[in-house]
Structure 1
């Protein structure tokens, strides 16, 4: 424990050095500086847990070593760790000052070109950095030697069979600080984000943890595995999908309406009878389809929540074998609706009843620059289910309360969770049965009922007449089980309603994707959407009707009167409907190649 706290304290001192070195620090107030250390301590403790693991194992397997041998070995091992910690920390000082992000795998690419690498560091204060590195080694070596001398005491001989298991049990307990606690999501960059000021969040990240994590993650992504075409040909093939915006139909009665964006967990067309799905599952949503604009040919981009949020808020397509949200350094380079709406003068907020640390959602939300983020810890524990967090109706009520005190126009996003497994909802059973599908249907019914109650209350609010509400899903889902056609798993509803609409209720049957939401919405608000390069205005009559989705190492393409699902491993169609020709397949391959290359390039 002493050794663990010693490393935690040392890493906190390294953070002091980081703040001293970075020019942005003077812009922070005292409370924000305290927040950096308070939130960063969890990651310091996690990093310290890794650094403590090897010495702890040494003691566990050699409990009868003499005090002198043990102390000497610990000093040597600690000195090696100090070299690594100091080297990463000092390199990170200049990397962050120059490039604005923590040291990761990126600078290592320069080692392939030594001349360019030398040129890149030519302007860095090399002498100062070397001095800081040596000072850290000397001071750290002295401090840890004193710590080891103080903590290693002469021990009586013990029985190996008794001592080793006991010490291994203590060592195993290091998993708690290493994973950042006992919460659902393990330690990730999002766990320490706490401020709307980006630099404060970056300062709370422990550089050593970030670098090691980056190295481990980089092993997953090398060159583009989907190089189907000669260079430039795939990009050229996609140009047919992106046509200039003509005068699209205006759907809004007001130029700058409030926007409430509801992202419904696991919501597919299979749960909506009007879209060919099961009957009786979402009666409130079906009722609302007669009051607004139902987009009945929209498809999810991916099969997980973090991929769906990226698609909806950044217009960036899902990858078959990767998730950009889990890599904050890449996700931070994406455009976001939060940024666009804030720039346009909107008050922005994001609501989620669960843990935003999961899958690095929190870091992405701060990148969106939401003015307010409300999550699990902001709700009473009595309103939580057993696993994820606050029930949907609780969050809806909080949104209603907050919006009545929010300056207009506002852009509010709500990511629901009650229809996520384990499908626990606070209402009597409607679909009897303990099997997974019955539980799912019951949870979906509750989510639908909560939405209906929210809309009913929203209609009574003074802001209703100036508000657009968009309801859609976060991703495709296998439930409820229907015909064995993966395309149906990704078919999702999208509904626009609210007092700000001037169009009469209607069904819009143009094919589109989640990724098309940003461009479609921004164009309706007369805002620029050029930053969202993958997003297409569904209402633009010049655009070709098209949707693409990705699943584990495969993709699907939907076009008028035909669709297919393609497996990358076998390089063949899994399923298809209509007349599919080679040009259709090549269009899907071109989309996969270019979108994955864009992911790698970020």
Structure 2
């Protein structure tokens, strides 16, 4: 058989298997799947293709050694290798079928895709046997049988053994080895989703505000293996065993408790339009308002003097997906954990748009790059944003950088989207030009020199683009009834700080600005040590909307707000309070940043671990 035909048949075979699985799932859960209508349901079979192809790439990499051996052998050995290769596919088919059928059975109760969480139940077989119903057993074995029957029938139909051809052994070997290298490269490329800088993720198959359709679309085996990879990285119990849950609860309650009624209200209207600009990588130190660098953000500095600013505001972590979840979901960060990569957990938590929805708010999210990174797009779709847009929604003819369209073009589209929206609205844009490799127009690249020229020049450009956006907003009728919020997703190193674990690395801007800021609070600095997860409760208090759905979020304007921020990374965790800051590198068991005295450090470590202990126990239970 011609090699190209074999490859095509291999792809078609596994695509048919995955499609059959979706059909079976959709029949079993027809009431959930069809709740959005037939048109959106059919989109599942188109949106799922890229992730299916990635999964096929992984299977191909596992098959390639046998394919090579098959084409290099002849006679009886060739037939043996053929049988081994066929049985490999059947075993893979069985594993894939068991994962998918387990998902079908569990979905009605869990309402999310099957993840390694299932092992928490399988280690206690008695629990499984006691909770499983007769129908669970029946459908499990029935669907495994149907999926295996379908797969084996198609496998036999499409692939048949062929004896070796009479070709020169040397010529055949060279040809086969060359083809193997090519196929290996193509399989790897398929597995990572293409040439783009960021490999494919589960977000690539998500397209609907209906989470069930997203779950049908996302390849079940890919998702399961993805959750297995994440699970293996998380070992927080070991690092937090020095504090008990009881004492941890006591301290965390103290941190999260504050006066829920006060008169520090800076918002003139209770149901304003809300525009949030998430500023990529804006470290507070890079803003000229900090006094460390002159002239980087003259326009933003002026807005600070007109709005309500938090000069001691800290990012929850150092990546965009964690920052977005903390800002809009009011949920802090854990070391080694990204909430957006766990849809089965994040869906159980509210986000700001869901709280505002009953008050008539329309919500949208716009990014000029690819939202599959960190499953950011999937997170916002899962939380029922009315519209989620990324680079696919921009004019392909726009001049752009490696990762994003330029900020000025992002804001032009953002303004267009706002003008097409009915009030009140929650409109969010995520900038990108300040992300390495700093996609900015050439004329803006020469303000700053040295190692940090990229970030500093890009922030100066971003400040100008933001200023033009705000000036254009002033011309619109809705401007007078709009609250603007500018907040960074995370910080970064700057010319004055090269330590990626120091508090200044995590310190980022939070600014409430616009015509709705009351006169007495213009130029006001909240000046309290707070974190991204505190944004939601602070905003909702100003709107006189309860924030009970965000127990980890605190109102920064409260008079007895506890000045304490915890931040995390994949390597460790740190804290900032009025006495100083520290960061603990977990694997190396050492401090990579510490300004506390010897007498203070043990107490600060203890408090940080207590906070994380409660958060981690809650996260595991989600």
TM-score between both structures, scaled by the size of structure 2: 0.91
Q: Quickly say closer, same or farther: Cα 1:89–1:347, change in 2 above 3 A.
A: same
2:233 to 220, 242, 245: 220
For 2:566, what is the secondary structure of its paired residue? strand
Alignment partners' CA distance in 2, 1:142 and 1:503: 74
> What SS does structure 2 have at the residue aligned with 1:12?
helix
How far 1:222 sits from its partner (Å)? 4.1
Deviations, residues 493-545 of structure 1 (Å, cap 9, x unaligned): 22111122224312222221111101000111111111211111000112222
Query: Does structure 1 retain, via aligned residues, the 8 Å contact 2:564–2:575?
Result: yes
The answer to whether the aligner puts 1:441 opposite 2:460 as a matched pair is no
Q: Aligned in 2, Cα 1:246/1:123: closer, same or farther, shift over 3 Å? A: farther
CA positional deviation for 1:152? 4.4
Alignment-derived partner of residue 296 in structure 2: 281
Bigger drift between 412-421 and 217-226 goes to 217-226
Distance 2:236 2:421 in 1: 47
Q: What residue is the counterpart of 2:64 in the other structure?
A: 56
Q: Does 1:556 align with 2:570?
A: no
Shift of 1:296: 1.5
Q: In the TM superposition, what is the alpha-carbon distance from 1:407 to its structure 2 partner? A: 0.7
1:401 to 413, 416, 419: 416
From 530, 540, 550, give the equivalent of 2:558: 540
Distance in 1 of aligned mates of 2:258 and 2:367 = 36
Aligned to 1:592: 612
* Contact 1:57 1:171 (8 Å CA) reproduced: no
Equivalent residue in structure 2 for 1:250, among 255, 265, 281: 265
Alignment-derived partner of residue 73 in structure 2: 65
- What corresponds to 1:507 in structure 2? 524
TM-score (norm 1): 0.94
C-alpha contact (below 8 Å) 1:12/1:41 kept by paired residues: no
* Contact 1:185/1:359, CA 8 A, preserved across alignment: no
Task: Report which stretch shifted further, 323-332 or 553-562.
Answer: 553-562
Distance 1:594 1:148 in 2: 55
Classify the secondary structure of the residue corresponding to 1:574.
strand
Q: CA deviation at 1:449?
A: 0.3
* Kept in 1: contact 2:448–2:456 (CA 8 A): no
C-alpha distance 94-482 of structure 1, shift in aligned 2 (>3 A)? closer
Report the secondary structure of 1:182's partner residue. Answer: coil
Query: How far has the Cα of 1:73 moved from its partner?
Result: 2.9
**Among 32, 38, 48, which residue is 1:40 paired with?**
48
1:349–1:107 distance in 2 versus 1, CA, 3 Å: same
In the alignment, is the contact (CA less than 8 A) between 1:477 and 1:489 conserved in 2? yes
- In 1, the alpha carbon distance for the partners of 2:139 and 2:610 equals 49
Confirm or deny: 8 A CA contact 1:12 1:44 kept in the other structure. Answer: no
In the alignment, which of 120, 123, 133 is matched to residue 109 of structure 1? 120
Picking from 593, 596, 603, the partner of 1:583 is 603
| Aligned-residue offset at 1:442 | 1.1
8 Å contact from structure 1 (residues 269, 276) kept in 2? no
Q: Return 5+ residue gaps in structure 2 as ranges.
A: 1-6
Q: Kindly tell me: are residues 93 and 552 of structure 1, through their superposed partners in 2, closer, same or farther at Cα, counting changes over 3 Å?
A: closer
Over 3 Å counting, the alpha-carbon distance change for 1:565 and 1:456 in structure 2 is: same
Alignment of 1:121-160 (within 5 A): 121-149=132-160, 152=162, 154-157=164-167, 158-159=169-170, 160=173
Post-superposition offset of 1:552: 4.5
Other structure's SS at 2:306 match: coil
Partners of 1:581 and 1:25 in 2: CA distance: 53
Between the aligned partners of 2:119 and 2:265, the Cα distance in structure 1 is 50
- How many angstroms apart in 2 are the aligned matches of 1:223 and 1:214? 16
**Mean Cα deviation higher: 407-416 or 502-511:** 502-511
Task: Structure 1 unaligned segments of length 5 or more: list them.
Answer: none
Q: Check if 1:74 corresponds to 2:81.
A: no
Secondary structure of the structure 2 residue equivalent to 1:290: helix
Corresponding residue number in structure 2 for 1:357: 372
Instruction: Choose from 3, 12, 18 the match for 1:5.
Output: 12
Deviations 1:253-297 (A, max 9, x none): 111001111110111121223223311111110111222122222
**Displacement after TM superposition at 1:384 (Å):** 4.6
CA shift, 1:366, in A, is 0.8
Could you tell me whether the CA contact under 8 Å between 2:486 and 2:511 is conserved in 1? yes
CA contact (8 A) 2:99 2:221 kept: yes
Correspondence 1:84-99 to 2 at 5 A: 84-99=95-110
Aligned-CA RMSD value: 2.3
Q: Measured at CA, do residues 139 and 491 of structure 1 come closer, stay the same or move farther in structure 2, by a change above 3 Å?
A: closer
Query: Counterpart of 2:203?
Result: 190
Q: Counterpart of 2:380 in 1: which secondary structure?
A: helix
Distance 1:11 1:573 in 2: 47
Alpha-carbon distance in structure 2 between the residues aligned to 1:20 and 1:483: 56
Residue 489 (structure 1) aligns with: 505
Measured at CA, do residues 119 and 549 of structure 1 come closer, stay the same or move farther in structure 2, by a change above 3 Å? same
- Judging changes above 3 Å, is the alpha-carbon distance between structure 1 residues 308 and 58 closer, same or farther for their aligned structure 2 residues? same
Query: Mapping of 1:157-176 within 5 angstroms?
Result: 157=167, 158-159=169-170, 160-176=173-189
Structure 1 position 184, deviation (Å): 3.0
Partner residue in 2 for 1:307: 322
